[in-house]
Structures are given as structure tokens and as C-alpha cells.
Amino acid sequence: MAHLSGLPRSHDRVTGPRRAGLIAAALLTSLISACATPSINPPLYGASLAGHDAAMGNSVIAWNAGSDAVAWTTADGARGLPILLKDNIETADMPTTAGSLALVGNAPGRDAPLVARLREAGAVILGKTNLSEWANIRSSNSISGWSAVGGQTLNPYDPTRTPCGSSAGSAVAVAIGLAPAAIGTETNGSIVCPASVNGVVGFKPTVGLVSRTHIIPISHSQDTAGPITTTVADAAIIMTVIAGSDPLDPATVEADARKVDYRAALDAGSLRGARIGVMRFLLANYSAETRAVFEQNLQALRDAGAELVEITEGPDMRAISTAAFQVLMTELKVDLNAYLASTDPRQVPTRTLADLIAFNGAEPRETVLFGQELFLLAEATRGLDDPAYIEARAGSLRMAGPEGIDRMMAENRVAALIAPTTSRAWTNDPTDDDRSQGSSSSLAAVAGYPHLTVPMGFDRGMPVGISFIGGQWDDARILSLGHAYEQATHARRAPEPSQ
């Protein structure tokens, strides 16, 4: 990984508000101007961008030295598509670290099935993107976009504000033009939140549509990979490639039967006559500015022919969150131990979650900014046979799915549910009062249902997205409705070099 002179390296002891200020001062001018080739149309992507040290230090952990400069447009489809991968997704030719120093030697020489599908379709793997270390599951105080391996990923619209996470590097890399597409992963919000606050498209598919094999896990109940792009059409191209069954991932048993050509299914007129449910019960949690932008976009949806249905009562979000947390902690220990056991012990001496906890405790570069209390909670769980886990899993799935999304859609006879994805990016300074405000990710995340975010406007100059959420296997419909909205509004505006 390249390093920009004047920046604190990821292991330097820079804490509190100084961290954001130091990074911003060093990168603000060079970040965007160094990361794209706007004079070339279509732009070239690949190893030719490796010299842009500011961009590399920001969002990309490692470039694939074998990737050549590639010209690509949406019309090319998957053939030649330059794409970056979040660094918890295995490739045969690069290490996979999850941002942790414990995994810097993790190079098992295997492609995750979704990577193999991309290669078979002719895509060009450009490299690995930074992420919130361990996908934000080590600590409830983790810093979005920070990892001990990659340092701090920055939001290009304002580097003092969060890029969100955990797929921070994937979203930022696409936003600033390093690649037209990247793959992120989500357990709850980790695709849609960074996509929203960085002004790009993010799609979390139905859990079980895309293989999770050889992806460093959190929860087999909620984990999935999905695309981050600048347009819904590009996301649909990628979904057509990566969706499909994998015998090593039992959740994907129906994927081959359920998948379609998602790009061909896009219909710019799909909002005409569509009943869309507005999740009004969530809106009080968002900033006033985001709520105002959302109300403006409700009119845009009406103008496109949609019939909007107000939904003022939803499921018990607190109960869902409590049950889902029990699920995540239990599955984290089981699933991560299984993953570590699949790696080469000569490359990864930490063989269990307990080993990782001991490693972090002995490695000050890991704990310079936050601890590992969630790892400790997960280590104390009692496995998949624990009655408390079994009850929590059944309850969270029921409340978020059949009694949540499914009930709201059926009772209101709607094709999709909408809400703001989140409000403006909050600051990276843990000492101020500018905090995260509002989120629509939990219902779809816990139920395992599709969730698409599309840029809808700006909150105090920071991008915000609108979420389209559907039922299980409604992926094609959700992508099509989001595409129709995107074509009607064209709300995305790329970050300006002067910002």
C-alpha cells in the first residue's frame, strides 16, 4: 500500500479530533485531482492509476499489478469491466486481510466464487479496497473506513466526515473515479450506507442470491456481497454475473432458479402505476435537511407515475435490533472460527476468535483508536445450539420479514418500500455532537431482503440516497424501480476537486 508523505501511518498514535484534521490537511487538495483521468473519454482504469498515491492511500489497499489500463463503458457489459473488491473477499492473486494485521499474510490462492464468476465473464480485477476493519464488528466504537492495514478512508465530499462503512473503500473508489464498479459486503448497512454518503449506487441483494464462500464472515444469516456503482444499470450488469448457486453455500440453493438478466429487466417506465410504500414511521430519526430532500423526491416519484402509500406504523425496531444482535454475536464466533480454520496456518497463525483477541491485545497498532468489546462478547457466546440464539434467530427473522416487510407490503398492496437511506455523513470527530441520523437498513438486513440506494440529493452539501426495499427474491423489481427513479431525477453529482 502506498503512503502519502505527511500523513500519519495507520499505526501512528494519532487520536481524537487531531486524526481527522491531519488527514484532511494532507489529502484535501490531492485526493480527487489525483484519482481520475477526466481528460480521457472513456477514462482508463487499472494499474495506470497506481502512481496516484493519494488515491491509493485513501481507498485502495492493493492494486493488482497485472491489471492494465482498461477503457470501459456500460455498453460493454461485463466484458472488460474494471472492478475493485472489498478486502474481505478472497482472490487467488492477492492477500485478503479484512483490514487486520493478523491477516496480512492470508494468501490462500483461491478465488471466491463471485470472483470466479466475474473473471469468467471477462471482468478485470483491479485490486482490493480498504474497509472498516473486520467489517465494523470488532467494536461498537469502531471508526468507519479505518483499518490497521489501510488507515483511514476519506469521504471525498468532505474528508472531515465519515465515508461510512464497512464498504468504505469500495464506495469512495467508485465515487472518485478509480473504477466504475466495486464489490462491497453487507451484514447491516455496510453497502447502502457508504454508497449513500458518497453519492453512488449500492445494492444489497437477497441473502442467498450471491455466494459468500471465501468471504471473511460475520453472520451466515445476514451476510451478502453486492455491487457499488455510479448507475443502477451498472449494478444490474454485475448482479447478472455474480448471482447464482454455490454448492459450498447452502443459502444459495435457490439462486440459479431465481436469478434473471437484471440489466434486461430494467424498465425506465416501471414507476408508472406502481404503488410505493413510504415508511413514514422511520422519518423522525433523520435530519431536517434529509427529510426535506426526501419530500421533494416523493413528488418526483409522483411525477414519474408512482402512487405513494403512507405507512405510519412499522414493526418493533428495538425488539428486532435486540434479537439480531444476539444472532450476530453468536454467528460471528462460529463463522469466523470456521473461516480461520480454512486458511493456511503458516500464513494465519491466529486460528480462532480467541487467538484474534489475544493478538489485538498484544498489538498496539490494532487498538490505537478503539477496542474489541464486540469480539469479547462474541467469544462468550455458546454456539448455534444455544436456545437463546435459536429463539433470537427465529424472532428476528419473523419480526423483520413476515411481520415486517412482508406484512407492510401485503397490507398496503405496494411493490416496494422507500425511505431515506441515512442522513448526511457525520463527522469523524468522536468529541462533537454531529452524529449518525436515521437509517433504513435494518429491516432488509435482518430479513435478508433486497435493498437498493440511489442518490437523491444533498444535505448541507453532502450526498444522501433514497432506499428501495422489497420482499425476498424481488431483486429485479427493486433494481428496475430504482433505475426508473434514477432516470427521472439524475440526482448524482460527482465530488468537485475544489471540495
**190, 196, 245, 396: which is the annotated catalytic residue?**
190
**59, 166, 167, 423: which is the annotated catalytic residue?**
166
**How would you write 308-354 as a 3-class SS string?**
EEEECCCCCHHHHHHHHHHHHHHHHHHHHHHHHHCCCCCCCCCCCHH
Phi and psi torsions of 70, nearest 5° = -125, 130
Tell me the residue type at 464: V
Query: Does 30 qualify as catalytic in the annotation?
Result: no
* Contact status, residue 459 vs residue 423, Cβ threshold 8 Å: yes
d(CA 467, CA 410): 19
**10, 86, 219, 333: which is the annotated catalytic residue?**
86
DSSP letters spanning 13-47: ---THHHHHHHHHHHTTHHHHTT--TTSSSPEESG
Look at strands 201-204 and 224-229 and give their pairing: antiparallel
Query: Does 33 qualify as catalytic in the annotation?
Result: no
Phi and psi torsions of 380, nearest 5° = -85, -5
DSSP letters spanning 360-404: HHH-TTTSSS---HHHHHHHT---TT-HHHHHHHHHHHHHHIIII
Eight-state DSSP code of residue 78: T
* Contact status, residue 130 vs residue 147, Cβ threshold 8 Å: yes
**Helix, strand or coil, per DSSP, at residue 466:** strand
Peptide bond into 42 cis (omega under 30): yes
Query: Does 166 qualify as catalytic in the annotation?
Result: yes
Phi and psi torsions of 151, nearest 5° = 75, -150
d(CA 442, CA 196): 15
**Helix, strand or coil, per DSSP, at residue 141:** coil
Look at strands 201-204 and 451-459 and give their pairing: antiparallel
d(CA 184, CA 150): 16
* Contact status, residue 100 vs residue 133, Cβ threshold 8 Å: yes
d(CA 404, CA 320): 10
Q: Which residues are catalytic?
A: 86, 166, 190
